[in-house]
Amino acid sequence: MAGEEGWTAKTVVFLGIVVVEALAHLALDDERFAGLSLVLLLLPPVVVGYLVVRAAGNRLLWAAVFAAISAGILLAEHAGSSGLAMAYGVPHAVVYLILLWLFGRTLSGDNEPLITRLARGVHGSMPAEMVAYTRNLTVVWCVFFAGQIVVSGLLLALAPMHVWSLFVNVLNFPILALTFIGEYAYRSIRHRDFPRSSIVRAIQVFRANSPFLKNARSR
């Protein structure tokens, strides 16, 4: 029962994020929804700041960082620039930078790649071909995370605001979901004999092996 309630809460939070990002895109793209800006402006930095400060070791430092980011967003909005775009662009970049760090740091030196470690946590011992595959998959996800940051930056600098907002606020989760589905389909064909686990189990192992998430749960 407790597990079901936990997943229900996570589902509600996820749907809430999707709705808020859709509203942010409408506020940036259509003047009829501009009134939403006041409600949406500080929501992302406050939420992300709370989560980071809660998980970080040096809470005072991170609190100061996110206070500065929030102040910058307010000043940008007051000056007539798009503070709302900053409010949703900064968390998007921060999340993917953290993921890039979590995955990328395990590819250096004698470290075991993160997805290899996760796969061992789910399946135990693995054949050499799956060890190689999971290492390559860790690299692929690093490229994906870096690509999200680079494309977002290029669109923000070169494309109309509504195009950038469409990518960051609307297409973000569908692109992520399609990447998961594409990898799962490829693995099912390429390594059809290797046993597959549930997404729930994979998420549990990821949380257990992520230092950032372990710190967040222990506080």
pTM listed for this prediction? 0.70
**pLDDT tens by residue, 71-105:** 666 665 554 446 667 767 877 898 899 899 999 99
Residue 216's pLDDT is 43
Residue that the structure tokens 């980071």 belong to: 52
Q: Which residue, 150, 136, 134, 156, is CA-closest to 206?
A: 134
How many whole angstroms separate alpha carbon 52 and alpha carbon 213?
10
Asked whether 91 and 84 are in contact (CB, 8 A), the reply is: no
How many whole angstroms separate alpha carbon 169 and alpha carbon 18?
8
Mean pLDDT of the chain: 75
Residue 125's pLDDT is 80
How many domains does the chain contain in total? Answer: 1
Domain interval for residue 73: 2-218
CA separation (Å) from 195 to 50, 178, 209? 38, 22, 21
Q: Which residue, 99, 137, 147, 145, is CA-closest to 117?
A: 137
**pLDDT tens by residue, 112-159:** 999 898 888 777 788 888 889 999 999 999 999 999 999 999 998 898
